[in-house]
Amino acid sequence: MKPIQVALIGLGTVGCGVYQTLHIHKQRLEIQLGAPVELTTVVIENPDKHMKIAEKTTISTDISDILYNPEIDVVFEAINGKEPAFTYLKQCIQAGKHVVTANKEMFAAHGRELKELAQKNEVQIGYDATTAGGIPIIQTISQLFRANQIQQVQAILNGTSNYILTQMRDHQLPFSTALKQAQKWGYAEADPTNDIEGYDAFYKLMILSDLIFDRQPDQKNIRHSGITGITDEAIEKAQQDGKRIKHIASIKYDETGNLTAEIEPIAVPKEHPLYAVEGVDNAIHLKADIVGDITLTGPGAGAFPTASAMVEDLCLILSKQSAPIPVS
């Protein structure tokens, strides 16, 4: 049977998670997809860091090795920042390849353009890993919230921040020690500024906004802060009041069609749907007009939860039975 050939851009925390998942779950994927999945090419930046990873896999620093290989069907992208990721994905789509990305900073800025380009080129784009790690929030909303109008989202979207806040409260760890642990576990970005200053949650909220409301709110009006100002005293005070400080990203759609968004730490009471979400977990609480309130919870960062989202996107893209991924 002709193998499904895939390529990978980036071999850091997430890329290694995808690499290992394709290897460990080879048999199950073959049964599910009806053909073996073969990792043909990996593109990275610093070749010295990587040994030759497998007999049949080419390690390269040149994106052309993916673009001009007509056998490659699907490209996973797991690198940092908007560029060159955006250019690479555009080129892959124009070369007729399906793409799967984990890169939220790039997708929050260019997701719409990539979705349109994918539609024009009759390929699919998977981006579940961009938002809330292993929680299948993008597919859930795309496939299962069609009749419902979602009116409000309240979410914990940054695993690093939630992990730090939990460690500070439960183990009285200093902020810097908790951040170092989050880096050690592969939750935090190479430069953790985006995590702890709230930008990472902002990117993810904008991706959800595009998906749910088909637009992003006016960014000038988004109140936006991270967790760097949260002191031990504030955490202690919240606990004495029976509350927990959570970094919450929210967006609301009113009757006039207005979108308002906020991203900030909030002391929430026990009854709040996000109070019990701890450690690296993320959660998305949705309010919709037919179903009412729903909360999805799960691991929000790390190699395998993110690889899970990317490999599930691969399965959906390749599944003959599945409907195409909607563009919005």
Ligand X SMILES: N[C@@H](CC=O)C(=O)O
Answer yes or no whether residue 189 interacts with ligand NDP by CB under 6 A.
Answer: yes
- Give me the least distance between CB of 169 and ligand NDP, in Å please: 22
- Classified as helix, coil or strand, 314 is helix
- Classified as helix, coil or strand, 35 is coil
- Give me the least distance between CB of 303 and ligand NDP, in Å please: 7
- Give me the least distance between CB of 15 and ligand X, in Å please: 14
150-156 vs 281-288, strand pairing mode: antiparallel
- Classified as helix, coil or strand, 45 is coil
Which residues make Cβ contacts (< 8 Å) with residue 307, sequence separation at least 6? 14, 17, 18, 20, 21, 129
Among 17, 133, 134, 273, binds ligand X (CB under 6 A): 133
Residues 251-310 that bind ligand X (CB under 6 A): 300-301
Q: Which helix (H) or strand (E) holds 23?
A: helix 13-24
Residue 247 CA to chain centroid, in angstroms? 17
Q: Cα separations (Å) of 36 from 5, 27, 69?
A: 9, 8, 18
* Site mask for ligand X (CB under 6 A), range 135-174, x = bound: -----------------------xxx--------------
Which residues make Cβ contacts (< 8 Å) with residue 319, sequence separation at least 6? 32, 33
Cβ-based neighbour number of residue 93 at 10 Å? 24
Answer yes or no whether residue 195 interacts with ligand X by CB under 6 A.
Answer: yes
Among 43, 114, 227, 274, binds ligand NDP (CB under 6 A): 43
Rg (CA), the chain: 20
DSSP state of 112: H
253 binds, among ligand X, ligand NDP, none (CB under 5 to 8 A by kind): none
- Which is catalytic among the residues 97, 104, 204, 287? 204
Answer yes or no whether residue 133 interacts with ligand NDP by CB under 6 A.
Answer: yes
Among 73, 105, 200, 210, binds ligand X (CB under 6 A): 200
Answer yes or no whether residue 3 interacts with ligand NDP by CB under 6 A.
Answer: no
Is 204 known to be catalytic?
A: yes
Residues in contact with ligand NDP by the rule CB under 6 A: 9-15, 43-46, 49, 78-80, 84, 102-104, 129, 133, 186-187, 189-190, 301-302, 306
Question: Where on the chain is the footprint of ligand X (CB under 6 A)?
Answer: 133, 158-160, 187-189, 195, 200, 300-301
Residues noted as catalytic: 204
